[in-house]
Structure 1
């Protein structure tokens, strides 16, 4: 079929999403998906990824994660009121020669959602500048048009966000840093919870794109030795610590590490070697579902900070928790990028790198501390503690703004989210 299919799912335990779209490209046969998990004031937020093998189940889980990220940052004192959660995905490699054309046809097909209900941005395999170019070619204003009616002064808010996107922090654009700063702050808070000094800790980061690169930068700046980095071509190891700044400023646009810049003491290892390296902090920052029940036994870290979305399967997380490893769930650890966009747009912070860093650090330290203390007090996993906090905040948001009933139509399976 060439038209989009709109439906929602029958419940099989997990709450069904509010809306899902399945699109088939009339030219290549590739499929794309949008899942709106929840609407708040008619709008939902979540990025768009391009990945060969992307599935509806994957996008559904990511959309549920966005609902959680939005809810966790709810503060009635802020101008920013969290949105609902959504996500988009296209089953195509970003390296495919047809990828950009497929992206354009997909965005054209879901134009109505983009204009009225779904605000989106870059995600795995898709850079914001590429998304913005295609949006402009389609005659649309931006990928976040749906939020404009919620702003007191949309023109001023958009200028503020544009100014923030233009900021550079030591050679890297601010939007590429805030998410990783949040992951690093969450991981450092976990070290403090465990009583591990930052200066004696080691970290390994899988993925060196926007999220992984920034996480590595801010861990290193806090005194943590980054002893391993992995990209699509393999793992780089140096027990004495890698020169993160040098590698960060010489990586390619998709996070590829320049092997000519490794420096003395660095060696190359197979692609999956990152899992078993000796470290205190392990950061999966590249792909979903990369830690499973079998390979989790190789992990030696004390903290797993989920910079990627859904990197740890449920049975693997249970096994890690049973042997005392703190798993900081994605919807907590990597939530700062989304929050920063809206703090800036709504005016809780200005287009200022220092204000952004301070807001991210304060919020992430509070969220992580609350989660770990509740986990310890209640004898549950950090994820369970965070989900309980999400439930409390969603109830507050519903009480303030009302709740949009979830539609329930026939069609599809519901795999649920972690």
Structure 2
């Protein structure tokens, strides 16, 4: 077993194969991405120097519809990581029954060391590099780590300039002023909070007063923490790349958000509040009712899983649990709500934005949130049905069974070209 993201994704697929009704030949096809692209992105820095960045786009599967997946800016981006993420997006869109396939993109860079103008240049150059393989009916990008509404607006504008007219449905996660939808910014975190609440109900546990630790306090982690707090949970620990804070009596999530807004990172917050500093490693081992990894892949390793004291893990990040760690948690009877359901809120609302753009009609925030909850509830119930009916060893395998069968059936119906 391997702890790299692509190896993990493939191992998760293979673990579900014996329980899924998928033709052997089709399953072999599902393990391979349909298309990958690597691009060189030269930009002029503010000091006049030229730097060349590497960018990637992987289109994993399109049997059920256009490719769909985010774009991340991070020093650790690689083709293997992007391929794994594109695979996870394929299973995610299938699990919540969206008419999409899966894709992912990324650029190897540290955006915190770049000015706004440099980030704009990089985004526009990356868009030019991938524009021949994206489009409203082909591949629809979205935000991911270190990208947001502004980057998506630049992408849309660049693509539209080449097209000669405004094409808002080429990308989702845009500002509302240029075709974005209400609720998109909070969608992933809202979905994590909704599915966490459903898990507590399923486990016959009370969310009110439950202790929660959130590792990763970016957009997803902060929204998750805020919403769970509003549902009555006690968020006792949160962290970001600079460190974290812990208070067994519960943290003021809104106050932490204000602090980060003013200071950029969480470091130093403990000096201004009744909270103790905590590092990310210690946070993962806290004795809490629910642990929510909301940062990057592979943070729950085998050694962490052996010492993990949470009663439940909810995967807000993509691929935060290694295959070896999964086996340990399964042996210890620690339930894991898999990423392909827990963090599907973002792609669900991205789908709603895409539909609104294509129809040139928008819905209210309440309508968007209601549809988000409905689709997540349906996916949750179908995962539980597969868990019971197929007697899968864990919820992740059950979720993959649903997703693999949906994508596999689409391939069988469409056939093999030529």
- For residues 85 and 291 of structure 1, what CA distance do their matches in structure 2 show? 24
Q: Report deviation, 1:96.
A: 3.1
Which residue of the partner structure matches residue 104 of structure 1? 124
Is 2:140 the partner of 1:123? no
Write the deviation string for residues 215-268 of structure 1: whole angstroms up to 9, x where unpaired: 111211111110000011101111111111232345339973374598643121
Which residue of the partner structure matches residue 381 of structure 1? 394
8 Å CA contact 1:52–1:91 kept in 2: the answer is yes
Which residue of the partner structure matches residue 363 of structure 1? 375
Which residue of the partner structure matches residue 35 of structure 1? 58
- For residues 223 and 351 of structure 1, what CA distance do their matches in structure 2 show? 29
Closer/same/farther in 2, CA of residues 14 and 289 from structure 1, 3 Å limit: farther
Q: Report deviation, 1:359.
A: 2.1
Write the deviation string for residues 52-79 of structure 1: whole angstroms up to 9, x where unpaired: 02111110010011111111222xxxxx
Q: Provide the secondary structure at the position in 2 that maps to 1:361.
A: helix
Closer/same/farther in 2, CA of residues 257 and 175 from structure 1, 3 Å limit: farther
- For residues 211 and 280 of structure 1, what CA distance do their matches in structure 2 show? 19
Closer/same/farther in 2, CA of residues 51 and 142 from structure 1, 3 Å limit: farther
Q: Report deviation, 1:137.
A: 4.8
Q: Report deviation, 1:343.
A: 2.6
Q: Report deviation, 1:183.
A: 0.8
- For residues 313 and 350 of structure 2, what CA distance do their matches in structure 1 show? 25
Larger helix proportion of the pair: 2
Aligned pairs for 1:301-380 within 5 A:
301-346=310-355, 350-376=362-388, 378-380=391-393
- For residues 242 and 256 of structure 2, what CA distance do their matches in structure 1 show? 14
Is 2:104 the partner of 1:91? no
TM-score (norm 2): 0.79
Write the deviation string for residues 172-196 of structure 1: whole angstroms up to 9, x where unpaired: xx22211111111111211122221
Q: Provide the secondary structure at the position in 1 that maps to 2:143.
A: coil
Residue in structure 1 matching 2:93, options 70, 83, 101: 70
Q: Provide the secondary structure at the position in 2 that maps to 1:105.
A: helix
Write the deviation string for residues 290-348 of structure 1: whole angstroms up to 9, x where unpaired: 11112222321121111111111111111111101111111111011111121344259
Residue in structure 1 matching 2:305, options 279, 296, 311: 296
TM-score (norm 1): 0.79
RMSD: 3.1
Q: Provide the secondary structure at the position in 1 that maps to 2:393.
A: coil
Which residue of the partner structure matches residue 394 of structure 1? 407
Closer/same/farther in 2, CA of residues 41 and 13 from structure 1, 3 Å limit: closer
Is there any run of 5+ residues in structure 1 with no aligned partner, and where? 1-10, 75-80, 148-157, 168-173, 408-418
Residue in structure 1 matching 2:37, options 1, 15, 21: 21
- For residues 201 and 141 of structure 2, what CA distance do their matches in structure 1 show? 34
Which residue of the partner structure matches residue 222 of structure 1? 231
Q: Report deviation, 1:163.
A: 6.3
8 Å CA contact 1:34–1:59 kept in 2: the answer is yes
Write the deviation string for residues 139-195 of structure 1: whole angstroms up to 9, x where unpaired: 254574289xxxxxxxxxx99995663x4xxxxxx2221111111111121112222
8 Å CA contact 2:235–2:253 kept in 1: the answer is yes
8 Å CA contact 2:301–2:321 kept in 1: the answer is yes
Closer/same/farther in 2, CA of residues 244 and 180 from structure 1, 3 Å limit: same
- For residues 385 and 67 of structure 1, what CA distance do their matches in structure 2 show? 16
Q: Report deviation, 1:395.
A: 4.3
Closer/same/farther in 2, CA of residues 43 and 373 from structure 1, 3 Å limit: closer
- For residues 160 and 96 of structure 1, what CA distance do their matches in structure 2 show? 28
